[in-house]
A and B are shown apart, each in its own frame.
Chain A
């Protein structure tokens, strides 16, 4: 029989100790809440970096103005399509890698270490590296494609291909993360279950479809959660390669906010964009998190 759970007083946790432990929690809360609230306040002002002392409270004017700015809607569309593409490509690809790596064999550990290599590279560096490789004239990518008879592509320099090129870089960088999480999920599936299925005559494909994939559900949602919240906020790769261009093909909300703050010194307007991004991030990842928790609950209820 397991020991009965003790409550705080039985645990000998005196009131003083409790308060002492509460203090760091409050400090942490303050440290995260203060910047948030001060940012929120800034988004309601016309603060400009260079206009010393001249900041006025403008209410929701920055948000109203944003809604009337065509570029904002372009950036919102870009943010959403970037995120959708990233998840739609990286999830199946990560799953495929995970399934391949789950097959026991001598090369398994080698491929596992090769797979994580991109994760060790900072996104800005990866962006610059790919920018060099994607150069239409001297880039190695077009050179390699020329052997397949494919004409040189202006990867990052054409509004039509810029977005997909940036997603490609993101995919190279972050698919390993998806694969690793999914691999952990696959390896948590008990061997008895798959062995029993095999003995019963199930084909490898049936085992994957009927046993592994359904059990992998929570992990798939976890990957989606990570990648969605990261992709919505993605800045480094885009800024290192296209800076939101050409034209506005890759201008996401984060890039727009960055330029507003650091090129044009408009902190108030930049903060308003950041808050729209925050709300978006909160809503989408909140939904995913709820789905994930429901799945987890179902898993343990089983």
Chain B
């Protein structure tokens, strides 16, 4: 299925937290510019970026000379892996030395950074016609994705309201990726529900040219991304939210216990014995290297890697499907958003803003998308013919990736409550899931113990 111009725009991130934010963010589109934007307002200065290794960064690097040519601003950057990158960033931000003017971040991290007063709000820069071009078009961003960068600083509420702390650069939701040839060989259909997937878990095993091929791969380490993103998508499809409408924790609810038991059964039956330590990077590499039949609820933006013959040994044998449906026939999904923020201690804020504006502009967004930065956060980029043609080619049949991504986007949402200590809470939750997998106590006891601990973190 193709995204046709004129067709209804995919509401790429809908769901709870985003629905209310939609109206607010469109109302804040910049007024028509009265003055001419001065791209050379910070000529001769230098800005320093902290970037996290990601396809976005690979797509950005070749474009940096264009920015320097346009603005006269020199750009230096450090590129680190996710964990050390965030640790280094924390040290820099908290000491307020301003080593990094602009950095890659996420709503989850920003809930802590904004609380610390380390982020520069961006609304004033956007509203200043001398600094922001008239065609920047804030309304072109997918409203929910843009709104994830707004927060009022109130714990557990206020996302999508308040100041804008970040501009999105890409977003991911989750999907199944599979090897059509191996599924055919085993006589299996792509599962539509978790029940179907569980039923076929025992059969997901075969031999490939380079030895045994395992059933499924997904990240499963003891960190927050487990109950937030990948397994989180399964949890949410079982109807589990971290907090219910009354603000009560749902971590050891019957639905949560059921989902966790099913997940552990699935991993035990269809994954190799070292599955309890996989990070997202290993999940991506593992599937791309052809050792698995299925990548389970992993990030959909890994597709450009799977499809690239230089990075993948399965580029001609990969299909995509939406995540399975839960017991009530319901699908829900999480979303992850990479964004860029400005350090409130940045030494050259004008230059930093011009960079932010440039890198999130329509033109540059098309260029980074074509170089593998998925999924676009601007509606116009989804409609760009070259981008459409690229994504159209992915999958077992033309348009399969786009269709799966669209299906997920209809339900994907940033689901967890904003709180500066959220990662600690989710780490604790992930630990309970791992304890159960490694046979230390039963699922119910572990999840309820985690819920008690997390309750204490919310209200110490």
Contact B113 A50 (CB under 8 A): yes
User: Taking beta carbons and an 8 Å cutoff, which residues of A are in contact with B?
Assistant: 49-52, 135-138, 154, 156-159, 242-243, 245-248, 262-265
Contact A247 B274 (CB under 8 A): no
Q: How far is the CA of A133 from the CA of B221 in the complex (A)?
A: 19
Question: Which residues from B are CB-within-8-Å of A247?
Answer: 222, 276, 431, 434-435, 438, 440
- Nearest A-chain residue to B428, judged by Cβ: A71
B94 at the interface (CB under 8 A from A): yes
Partner of A263, one of B273, B275, B424: B424
* 0/1 interface trace, chain B 254-285, chain A, CB 8 Å (1 if under): 00000000000000000011111100000000
Contact A245 B113 (CB under 8 A): no
Question: Which residues from A are CB-within-8-Å of B91?
Answer: 262
- 24 pairs of residues in contact across A and B, judged by CB atoms under 8 Å: A50-B94, A50-B113, A50-B116, A51-B420, A136-B273, A137-B272, A137-B274, A138-B289, A154-B274, A156-B274, A157-B274, A157-B277, A158-B273, A158-B276, A242-B277, A243-B83, A245-B277, A246-B438, A248-B431, A263-B87, A263-B424, A263-B427, A265-B94, A265-B420
Contact B277 A263 (CB under 8 A): no
Tell me the minimal C-beta distance from A55 to chain B in angstroms: 12
Q: Which 8 A-B pairs have the closest CB atoms?
A: A157-B274, A50-B116, A49-B94, A157-B277, A154-B274, A136-B274, A262-B87, A154-B273
B115 at the interface (CB under 8 A from A): yes
Contact B94 A246 (CB under 8 A): no
* 0/1 interface trace, chain B 106-122, chain A, CB 8 Å (1 if under): 00000011011110000
Contact A264 B115 (CB under 8 A): no
Question: Which residues from A are CB-within-8-Å of B90?
Answer: 49, 262, 265
Question: Which residues from B are CB-within-8-Å of A243?
Answer: 83, 221
Contact B116 A159 (CB under 8 A): no
- Nearest A-chain residue to B279, judged by Cβ: A243
Q: How far is the CA of A156 from the CA of B275 in the complex (A)?
A: 11
- Nearest B-chain residue to A53, judged by Cβ: B117
Question: Which residues from A are CB-within-8-Å of B431?
Answer: 247-248
- Nearest B-chain residue to A251, judged by Cβ: B222
Question: Which residues from A are CB-within-8-Å of B116?
Answer: 49-52
Q: How far is the CA of A154 from the CA of B91 in the complex (A)?
A: 34
Contact A159 B438 (CB under 8 A): yes
The A-contacting residues of B in range 219-235, CB under 8 angstroms, are 221-222
- Nearest A-chain residue to B114, judged by Cβ: A50
B421 at the interface (CB under 8 A from A): yes
The A-contacting residues of B in range 47-94, CB under 8 angstroms, are 83, 87, 90-91, 94
User: Taking beta carbons and an 8 Å cutoff, which residues of B are in contact with A?
Assistant: 83, 87, 90-91, 94, 112-113, 115-118, 221-222, 272-277, 286, 289, 291, 420-421, 423-424, 427, 431, 434-435, 438, 440
- Nearest B-chain residue to A245, judged by Cβ: B222
Question: Which residues from B are CB-within-8-Å of A158?
Answer: 273-274, 276
Question: Which residues from A are CB-within-8-Å of B421?
Answer: 264
Q: How far is the CA of A102 from the CA of B87 in the complex (A)?
A: 46
Tell me the minimal C-beta distance from B3 to chain A in angstroms: 38
- Nearest A-chain residue to B285, judged by Cβ: A138
Tell me the minimal C-beta distance from B430 to chain A in angstroms: 10
Partner of A246, one of B222, B286, B291, B427: B222
- Nearest B-chain residue to A156, judged by Cβ: B277
Q: How far is the CA of A159 from the CA of B434 in the complex (A)?
A: 11
Tell me the minimal C-beta distance from A105 to chain B in angstroms: 43
Contact B291 A51 (CB under 8 A): no
Further 13 A-B residue pairs, CB within 8 A, beyond A49-B116, A159-B438, A247-B276: A49-B90, A50-B420, A52-B116, A137-B274, A154-B273, A158-B276, A245-B276, A246-B221, A246-B222, A262-B91, A263-B423, A264-B427, A265-B420
Contact B438 A51 (CB under 8 A): no
Tell me the minimal C-beta distance from A24 to chain B in angstroms: 28
- Nearest A-chain residue to B277, judged by Cβ: A157
Contact B112 A50 (CB under 8 A): yes
Question: Which residues from B are CB-within-8-Å of A157?
Answer: 273-277
Question: Which residues from B are CB-within-8-Å of A52?
Answer: 116-117
Contact B277 A246 (CB under 8 A): yes
Partner of B434, one of A135, A246, A262: A246
Question: Which residues from B are CB-within-8-Å of A265?
Answer: 90, 94, 112, 420
Tell me the minimal C-beta distance from A236 to chain B in angstroms: 12
Q: How far is the CA of A51 from the CA of B83 in the complex (A)?
A: 22
Contact B115 A50 (CB under 8 A): yes
Question: Which residues from A are CB-within-8-Å of B276?
Answer: 157-158, 245-247
Contact A136 B440 (CB under 8 A): no
Contact B274 A264 (CB under 8 A): no
Q: How far is the CA of A51 from the CA of B460 in the complex (A)?
A: 15
Q: How far is the CA of A281 from the CA of B371 in the complex (A)?
A: 52
Question: Which residues from B are CB-within-8-Å of A246?
Answer: 221-222, 276-277, 434, 438
Question: Which residues from A are CB-within-8-Å of B222?
Answer: 245-247
Q: How far is the CA of A137 from the CA of B435 in the complex (A)?
A: 23
- Nearest A-chain residue to B425, judged by Cβ: A264
- Nearest A-chain residue to B88, judged by Cβ: A262
- Nearest A-chain residue to B220, judged by Cβ: A246
Q: How far is the CA of A263 from the CA of B221 in the complex (A)?
A: 15
Tell me the minimal C-beta distance from B272 to chain A in angstroms: 6
Tell me the minimal C-beta distance from A46 to chain B in angstroms: 10
- With A50-B94, A246-B438, A247-B222 known as contacts, the answer to whether A264 contacts B424 (CB < 8 A) is yes
- Nearest B-chain residue to A69, judged by Cβ: B453
Tell me the minimal C-beta distance from B227 to chain A in angstroms: 16
Contact B277 A51 (CB under 8 A): no
Tell me the minimal C-beta distance from A141 to chain B in angstroms: 13
Q: How far is the CA of A245 from the CA of B431 in the complex (A)?
A: 10
